[in-house]
Structure 1
Amino acid sequence: MQLNELELQNLRHLIGGHETVAKKLDAYAANCNDPQIVQMLQNDAQAARNSKQQLMSFLNQQ
């Protein structure tokens, strides 16, 4: 499957967004004192990283 230029740009934008979200969630978790919230933030950061990796697999197919 070939992606056109617009699709590639959108994919890169989504990948960057997921990376930004993961970094922000990690920073929030590092500054939080409630263990339950820390765990939730870390889980969400990992989910964002997993989504980023899934999106990157589309780039690797190009």
Structure 2
Amino acid sequence: MQEQITAMELQNLREAIAAHTLSAKKLQEYSTQANDQQIKQMLSQSAQSAKSTKQRLMQFLQ
């Protein structure tokens, strides 16, 4: 049985998805600009984490 989400929950979900999308893009861009390999790797991993979280959040829309 699938539960329905409220309009407020839907709006919050959309905002969270948008925030993670933006974070992933920014972190990936910062990663490409970084010179230090450790920082580059950390930023890239953080971008991937944001993308993964976005995908998990999007599952609630199905």
The TM-score, its normalising length taken from structure 2, stands at 0.94
- The residue aligned with 1:41 is 43
- The residue aligned with 1:10 is 12
> Is there any run of 5+ residues in structure 2 with no aligned partner, and where?
none
> Is there any run of 5+ residues in structure 1 with no aligned partner, and where?
none
Question: Percent identity between the aligned chains?
Answer: 50
Distance in 2 of aligned mates of 1:18 and 1:35: 24
Q: Cα distance, 1:38 vs. partner?
A: 0.4
- Higher RCO (CA-CA < 8 Å; seq separation 6+): 1
Q: Cα distance, 1:37 vs. partner?
A: 0.5
The TM-score, its normalising length taken from structure 1, stands at 0.94
Equivalenced residue count is 60
C-alpha root-mean-square deviation of aligned residues, in Å? 0.4
Alignment of 1:21-60 (within 5 A): 21-60=23-62
